[in-house]
Chains A and B, each alone.
Chain A
Amino acid sequence: MKFYVCIKQVPDVNAPIQIKEGELIQDTSRMILNAYDASAVEEALVLAEQHGGEVEVVSVGPSKVSETIRKALAMGADKAVHIQTSSDDEYDSATYADILAAYFKDKEYDVISCGKQSQDTDAGLAGSMLAEKLDLPYATNAVGLDIEDQKLVVKRQGDAGQEIIGLPTPCLVTCSNDMNDPRIPSLKGIMQSKKKPLETVELSELGIDESNLSSKTHVTGYQEKPEREAGKKYEGEPEEIAKQVAKLLDEEENVI
């Protein structure tokens, strides 16, 4: 089976963030592989190990995303494609989906997978957009994957419970990070990754003129969230503090 995994480089949400005059100041040295995408890579590797097949990762972005691509190769992906953009500007989900759709248009594959959302924007749109553009059956928010008779069996988390869905191939699935613990590349994996094929593709080769790429949505600025003030800490005898707080919740907060 041929698996393609779409991966994105994102800033580490655990790193300190500053906002200056509405602009986001990020520590760009702390760019990581989106955790949801890492789970998608892990799952594809496991399925390919179990059922045979090849895993290729695809990423869209400026030159610096190559580090993230190397990470996926070091995890064990067989090949990679870097669709290069010149600008560092964030596109919206639809623009990424357009670029990926142009790339996949004449490719052969069984499964395209990606993270269910991006850790930084939490938009969660690109996967199902890409599926629609490629007219593929899809499932989002997968928490478990399996293959049966050339079909992808997806366990997804829905509103009311978990749903088991059968997807005929070719198909697309978006992955939650609840499904596995992505492997940490071994030293051997890191060494091997340097020799693995990494193809670069220019947008013009996909028939896209970068200067014409315009998003329908725009981020116009960033703001601090109104800080939640730390309340009071109650330390001491458990009995005492339990009684004290229960009383306050009843009398001061009126929430009991």
Chain B
Amino acid sequence: MSTLLTHIAISDGKIKRSSLEVLSRCQELANQNGHTSEAVIIDSNASDYMDEVQKYGASKIYLVEDPIFKNHINSPLLKALAKVMEASNPHVFAFASTEGTKDILGALAANQDAAVLSDVSEFDLIDGGISAKRPVMAAKILSSNEAKAEKILVSVRSGSYDLQENPTDAEVETIDFSFDESDLKLTLREIIGSSGDKIDLSEADTIVASGRGAKDEEGQKLVNELADLLNAGVGASRALTEAGIVDPSLQIGQTGKVVSPQLYFAIGISGAIQHVAGMANSKVIVAINKDPDAPIFEIADYGLVGDLYKILPPFIEELKKIKS
């Protein structure tokens, strides 16, 4: 019997749904194979999130609470993760593939001499380790991978697994943690442009994303209007984040966020593979582009060919009617 440990990511005072998806998957694998599923919450207010984690099944929840975790800083986080691994001794330690995870996964693997597979779209247990599929070559193809080691780390793309409630009466263990300021290898000076009040793209059901074709004020106004109407997250192609028109944290693609909403609007986006890498798993894709040969039409379920400035206003009007 071995332990599957899940890291519960907190962002802007909320649990990231993607980490509950990972916990659901680990609980399922534990049930199927007679293993143990555990979870860890590392935060300045870790205990606040216990009840919600309990719903998704873990026989034990580790809490590491310290004011230092108010913001993401890699050196204390690595120290805490190493302590948790000592306490839990997991065979597999699973993470949601967030920016925070990407910042520490390699270092933790090196520190723990663990095998690691990042950004997988599915994983399973095999004899002595895990197998996993990863999108590679800008998500054009999938690679099958195996990791075999005593300790294995894995990070999972959001939307890879469904949430499954599985309430347990988990035992709670608080891990002693203190952080000496002198151990701090780096300093966090400032955080700018927090997207706290916006809808988290990696978890949104509907996303309205715009590209260079909608870069002026009028285009952005239409895009925001559509997003408000649908209570959607607003995303963008790199052309817009680079031009400083949209907050960089809202970039979707190989370099930005990987999203998997029910409905994705690509408005004035050409559909370069690096953008598609982040959104091809959306359930329904609607594209508006004036170029009938734009690559985005190769993956769009609904491709509207034409000028977005002419298409969006009547589209928004029609949606308003439907909504009312």
Chain A residues at the B interface, C-beta cutoff of 8 Å: 11, 13-14, 17, 19, 24, 93-94, 97, 116, 119-133, 136-141, 143, 153, 156-168, 171, 176-178, 216-225, 228, 230-235, 238-239, 241-243, 245-250, 253, 255-256
Contact = CB atoms under 8 A, between A and B. Distances in A.
A137 B114 CA distance: 20
B106 A242 contact: no
30 contacts: A13-B273, A13-B274, A17-B141, A120-B136, A121-B143, A122-B134, A122-B138, A123-B119, A125-B105, A125-B118, A128-B104, A128-B106, A137-B75, A137-B185, A137-B186, A153-B189, A160-B191, A161-B249, A217-B145, A217-B147, A218-B145, A219-B143, A219-B145, A220-B144, A224-B141, A225-B140, A230-B303, A234-B303, A238-B310, A242-B312
Given A94-B110, A163-B71, A234 B302 contact: yes
Contact of B103 (A128, A176, A223): A128
Given A121-B136, A123-B118, A158 B99 contact: yes
B157 to A, nearest CB: 11
A21 to B, nearest CB: 13
A233 B301 CA distance: 8
Interface residues of B, number: 98
A24 B99 contact: no
B303 A231 contact: yes
A245 B302 contact: yes
Contacts of A130: 110
Interface in B115-129: 115-119
Contacts of A127: 106
A127 to B, nearest CB: 7
Contacts of A239: 314
B35 interface: no
Contacts of A217: 115-117, 145-147
Contact of B302 (A24, A138, A249): A249
Given A225-B141, A249-B286, A132 B301 contact: no
Q: Helix, strand, loop or mixed for chain A's interface?
A: mixed
Contact of B115 (A160, A216, A242): A216
B106 to A, nearest CB: 4
A234 B300 CA distance: 11
A153 B286 CA distance: 41
B135 A122 contact: yes
A162 to B, nearest CB: 5
A218 B143 CA distance: 10
A222 B104 CA distance: 27
Contact of A129 (B107, B195, B297): B107
Contact of A120 (B102, B137, B314, B323): B137
B2 interface: no
Contacts of A219: 143-145
Contacts of A139: 74, 103, 186
Contacts of B190: 163-164
B106 A125 contact: yes
A168 B194 contact: no
B107 A138 contact: yes
Given A11-B137, A13-B137, A168-B186, 18 more contacts: A13-B273, A13-B274, A93-B116, A122-B134, A122-B138, A133-B110, A138-B185, A141-B99, A159-B72, A219-B144, A220-B144, A223-B142, A224-B141, A242-B311, A243-B315, A245-B315, A253-B301, A256-B322
